[in-house]
Amino acid sequence: MTAYLMTPQGRRLAYHRTPGNGPGVVFLGGFRSDMTGTKAQFLQAWAEENGRPFLRFDYSGHGQSEGDFLDGAIGDWFEDALAMIEAQTEGPQVLVGSSMGGWIALLVARALPQRVAALVGIAAAPDFTEDLMEPSFTEAERAAMEATGRIEQPSEYSDEPYVITRRLIEEGRSRLVLRSPLHLPFPVRLLQGSADVDVPPSVALKLFDHAESPDMRLTLVKGADHRFSEPENLALLAQTLDRLPV
């Protein structure tokens, strides 16, 4: 059953919480995704089968949560995640971050390392606004961004184009995690598809090289795309969670 939380910033967020025992699992979704997606539902079933606490939620401007997506930026969604974890979980959690959610998970881990039991990144996309989005803009897009504060790009995941705002790009610069030391004092597992054209394997390798962890592993899956939602991909995700030393 969907419940709602009002954050300290006044944003009303939708969430679904499953009770259980042991370290909880928190799913952090991607850019424009929501808590009803394939991976979120799969993790829900995994948690129920294993008797583990599980939390999935929608960032502001996403899914069933209030707010306009175009008003949001990385910092807002990071604040949403912090509020959810602090209000709806107890003790150390396993953070599972998909795409942008991987960046959010790293921000949470940097802010609340004592509340993180382990981190699993699925095509994690730290610093994507700065390293992937902004460099890809054409001169025409840069001019449009300067003039209107937004641009539109086609999306293979939706009939509607992606709208990228100037605030998203500029606010993201204050949330970068790959420009300074990144200490992750817990197990880290990174899952990455070799055929991911949205967040290429080079991003996973950069994160793998940059972060410091006593137990970090990167699994590169040949042929897997950015969705990482094929049955064999989900089976690998479950296996990864089953084998975490938490």
Query: Active site includes 226?
Result: yes
Give me the sign of the Cα torsion angle 111, 101, 17, 79: positive
Report DSSP state, residue 36: T
Catalytic residue among 60, 98, 99, 213: 99
Query: Do the beta carbons of residue 33 and residue 227 sit within 8 Å?
Result: no
Compute the C-alpha angle 24/17/246, nearest 5°: 5
Query: Do the beta carbons of residue 24 and residue 31 sit within 8 Å?
Result: no
Query: Active site includes 99?
Result: yes
CA distance 38 to 29: 11
Catalytic residue among 80, 127, 196, 198: 196
Catalytic positions? 99, 196, 226
